Amino acid sequence: MTRLVHAELLKLRTTRLLLWLALMIVALIGLIVSLNGGERSFDDLARASSQRDLITTAAISALIALILGIVVSTAEYAHGTIGGTFLVSPVRERVVAAKVFAAMLSGAVLAAFAWALALALAAVWLAVRSVPSHLLSHDIFTLLLGLLAASALTGAIGVGFGAILRRQTAAIVVALVWLLVGEPLMAVAGKQRYAPGHVVVAVAEAGHQASGGDLLAFWPALLLGLGYAALFAVAGTLVVVRSDVT
Amino acid sequence: MAAAPPIEVRGLTKRFGSTTAVADLSFAIPPGRITGFLGPNGAGKTTTLRALLGLVRPTSGDALVNGVPYRKLADPARTVGAVLEASSFHPGRSGRNHLRVLAAAAAIPQARVGEVLEDVELAGAGGRRVGGYSLGMRQRLSVAGALLGSPRLLVLDEPANGLDPEGIRWLRNFLRSFADEGGTVFISSHVLAEVAQLADEVVIIHRSRLIAHEPLETLTARAAGGTVVRSPDAERLRQGLAEAGVEAAAGDGGSLRVAAEPEQVGEVAAAAGVVLHELRREEASLEEVFLELTAEEPK
């Protein structure tokens, strides 16, 4: 199993996927932190909660990790390398499990990168505007743990979901449509706090609910998130094991 | 108990929806030989090979490697080397990294990657992205991947597709020496001529069914074609052949298709004093072999 995870991580390191995803994180976080850091009033920015909000921007890494997980699953079908992968490791359950681990690990790395980036940018803005910093508080480090867990979860969910559809563009589009349309529809029924996207946000915010939304507390959210990840991973595995590679 | 054959297919049937790709196919190939797997495009060769390699689940029947389904092999990469289509690479990954990934998954030492790149004469291009490789280089990279685990059995699906003549010669020499060292090769093709120079025996399928499994000599003897001869004086040659009791049909540009051995045609031409510009045995095409074989099959 270790060798399969190693092979999956090697696959990630030998293409430019991680580089592109990291660049997306740089662009998005750079934009959002700079807009907030530049436009918010001095008094607003001086509040610890506002500074925490700036770092919460790093939660974008959970979305990027979802895309990463989907690509980890589907790229092999898109490029036809899945046949070669199954020739070396014909027990497909192990291949999917290795992809889940690799995506969780890589998702966590992206989250750490996003957090550090947001922290650095926020520190620069606070210094530039001479705002007293609360960035080295306990809250900010708790937030890191939440982000790591959230991105690991979405990485795993992405692999499972990608394995179910096995078509890269379709999987990414369906996932985004769900987040943009499906989850708001659940809000109409008042059940959105149990929807996967909201659960992941609850985990990412580590119980602080900076977004002010109706979210689950951290631990129930983490448990439900793990349940979603397991559900998608098992369903994806069943599909992959039963499908023909033609 | 005798050792199981390297490859054995027993009553293999595979249906995709309402389409039957392979119907009740049975054969076994012997060790230490090169067996050609022939059939026109769409005959079911790829499906059979993929069932053998555990990529496709048989609807019924078995496809076994060393007596067990592929999925049950203890160490598949060290047992079977498979070459699937040439395009099965991530275009952004280098050839060397492609092999490193396979080696990592199969717990094969990374040093072996350099060795197989040398074996397929790709050492110089190993660091380049596969997206920039020619078809021939991709095919060599596929072969390198198959050799990583030093297996004793190679399964190749249409490996000569898109290869230039030099690449085909390289592949032929390579497989011959692999078999000479005791390895077993199972190679599919839809071109008989390609396999004719290489295989010891052939398995032929047509419309999803087995139609022949025999040594190559038997097949080519059955499918022997005639002779093609070209002469600036074709008409006189045709008369000479007719006098010798041999039928000849006029083709393009002064060529004749003759229902006789080249030796006989040459002798008739010499006796008649006719200049020849070309004299060769007409290679039986796979289609002709099929026509002959299917014509013999009682329906």
Q: Do B174 and B231 share a domain, yes or no?
A: no
Report residue A227's pLDDT band, with 50, 70 and 90 as the boundaries: very high
Instruction: List the strands of the sheet with B19-29, edge to edge.
Output: B19-29, B7-16, B60-65
A contacts of B100 (beta carbons < 8 Å): 10, 14
State whether B216 and B231 are in the same domain.
Answer: no
Contacts of B16 in chain A (CB under 8 A): 244, 246
CATH, residue B247? 3.30.70
Question: What is the rounded distance in angstroms from the CA atom of residue B61 to the CA atom of residue B196?
Answer: 30
Number of domains composing chain B: 2
CB contact under 8 A, A245 and B56: yes
- Of A2-16, A82-96, B262-276, the one with minimum mean pLDDT is B262-276
**C-alpha span between B101 and A7 (Å, rounded):** 5
Q: Is the per-residue pLDDT at A212 higher than 60?
A: no
Whether B223 has a pLDDT exceeding 70, the answer reads: no
Q: What is the pLDDT of residue B284?
A: 65
Q: Which of A47-56, A116-125, A213-222, B253-262 has the lowest mean pLDDT?
A: B253-262
CA nearest to B145 within chain A = A84
Contact residues for B96 (Cβ-Cβ < 8 A; gap 6+): B113, B117, B126, B127
Query: What CATH number is given to the structural domain containing B83?
Result: 3.40.50.300
Q: Are B155 and B95 within one domain? A: yes
- The answer to whether residues B148 and B184 belong to one domain is yes
Residues B162 and B271 in one domain: no
Q: Do B55 and A244 touch (CB under 8 A)?
A: yes
Q: Are residues B125 and B251 in the same domain?
A: no
Tell me, yes or no, whether B209 and B237 share the same domain: no
A90 contact residues in B (CB cutoff 8 A):
54, 70-71, 73, 76
Task: Compare all CA atoms of chain A with the CA of B51 and give the residue at the minimum distance.
Answer: A244
Which of B222, B237, B261 terminates a domain? The answer is B222
Res B292 pLDDT > 80: no
A80 touching chain B per CB within 8 A: yes
Is B50's CB within 8 Å of A244's CB?
A: yes
Last residue of a domain, one of B175, B195, B222: B222
Q: Is residue B287 one of the residues assigned to a domain?
A: no
For residue B299, tell me if it sits in a domain: no
pLDDT digits (tens, 9 = 90+) for A125-163: 999 999 999 998 888 999 999 999 999 999 999 999 999
A126-135 in b/e form (b: 16+ CB < 10 A) is beeeebeebb
Is residue A83 within 8 angstroms of chain B, CB to CB? yes
- Last residue of one domain, picked from the residues B183, B206, B222: B222
Partners of A77 on chain B (C-beta within 8 Å) are: none
A85·B105 Cβ contact <8 A: yes
Q: Rounded mean pLDDT of A224-244?
A: 96
Per the CB < 8 Å rule, is B101 touching A245?
no
Residues in chain B: 299
What range does the domain containing B255 cover?
A: 227-282
Average pLDDT on B156-182 reads: 87
Q: Residue A139: its pLDDT value, please?
A: 87
The distance in angstroms from the start CA to the end CA of chain A is 25
On average, the pLDDT of chain A sits at 93
Chain A nearest CA to B129, separation (Å): 10
Token representation of residue B226: 């005639």
Any domain includes B197:
yes
Q: How confident is the model at residue B206 (pLDDT cuts 50, 70, 90)?
A: confident
Contact B102 A84 (CB under 8 A): yes
Has residue A80 got a pLDDT over 70? Answer: yes
Residues of A in contact with B98 (CB under 8 A): 14
Answer whether residue B182 shows pLDDT above 60.
yes
Q: Is B15 on the interface with A (CB under 8 A)?
A: no
Asked if residue B43 belongs to a domain, the reply is yes
**How far is B189 from B171, CA to CA, in rounded Å?**
13
Q: Mutate which of B90, B108, B113 to test chain A, going by most A C-beta atoms within 10 A?
A: B90
The answer on pLDDT for A178 being more than 80 is yes
- pLDDT value of position B81: 95
Residue B133 forms contact with A (CB below 8 Å) = no
Does B94 touch chain A if contact means CB atoms closer than 8 Å?
Answer: yes
Task: Please check whether residues B97 and B208 belong to one and the same domain.
Answer: yes
B93 shares contact with chain A (CB less than 8 Å): yes
- pLDDT at residue B299 above 50? no
**Mean pLDDT, residues A164-190 taken together:** 91
Predicted structure pTM score: 0.85
Contacts of A3 in chain B (CB under 8 A): 104-107
Contact A245/B102, CB-based, under 8 Å?
Answer: no
Residue B188, H or E segment: strand B184-189
Chain B nearest-CA residue for A85: B102
Tokens representing A6?
């190693």
Give me the mean pLDDT over the B219-248 stretch. 82
How far B181 CA lies from chain A's nearest CA (Å)? 24
B217 and B252 in one domain?
no
Residue B232 domain-assigned? Answer: yes
In a domain, B291, yes or no: no
Only one residue has tokens 């991530």, namely B90
| Res. A14: pLDDT tops 80 | yes
Give me the pLDDT at residue A213, please.
63
Q: Are residues B70 and B43 part of one domain? A: yes
pLDDT attached to residue B295: 65
| Nearest Cα residue to B59 out of B48, B43, B73, B71 | B48
Phi-psi domain of B20 (left: phi exceeds 0; alpha: psi -120 through 50; beta: other)? beta
- Residues of A in Cβ contact (< 8 Å) with B84: 80, 83-84, 87
Contact B57 A244 (CB under 8 A): yes
Q: What is the mean pLDDT of residues B75-102?
A: 90
Q: Per-residue pLDDT for B283 more than 80?
A: no
The 10 Å Cβ neighbour count of residue A65 is: 32
Per-residue pLDDT, A125: 93
Same domain, B146 and B244: no
B1 part of a folded domain? no
B28-67: pLDDT as tens digits: 999 999 999 988 888 889 999 999 999 999 999 999 999 9
Average the pLDDT over B269-293 and give the result: 79
Using the Cβ of B91 and the Cβ atoms of chain A, whether some distance falls under 8 Å is answered with: yes
> Residues B132-154: pLDDT tens digits?
998 888 988 999 999 999 999 99
Tell me the C-alpha to C-alpha distance, in Å, between residue A172 and each of A79, A105, A177.
17, 20, 9
Q: What's residue B193's pLDDT?
A: 74
In a domain, B204, yes or no: yes
B124 and B256 belong to one structural domain: no
B270 pLDDT higher than 60: yes
b/e code A202-228 from CB counts within 10 Å (16+ = b): bbbbbbbebeeeebbebeebbebbbeb
Query: What is the three-class DSSP state of B75?
Result: coil
Q: Is the pLDDT of residue B129 over 60?
A: yes
Helix (H, G, I), strand (E, B) or coil at B282: coil
**pLDDT tens profile A61-71:** 999 999 999 99
pLDDT of residue A234: 97
Burial class (CB in 10 A: 0-12, 13-18, 19+), A139: middle
Give this complex's ipTM.
Answer: 0.88
* Per-residue pLDDT at B260 exceeds 60: yes
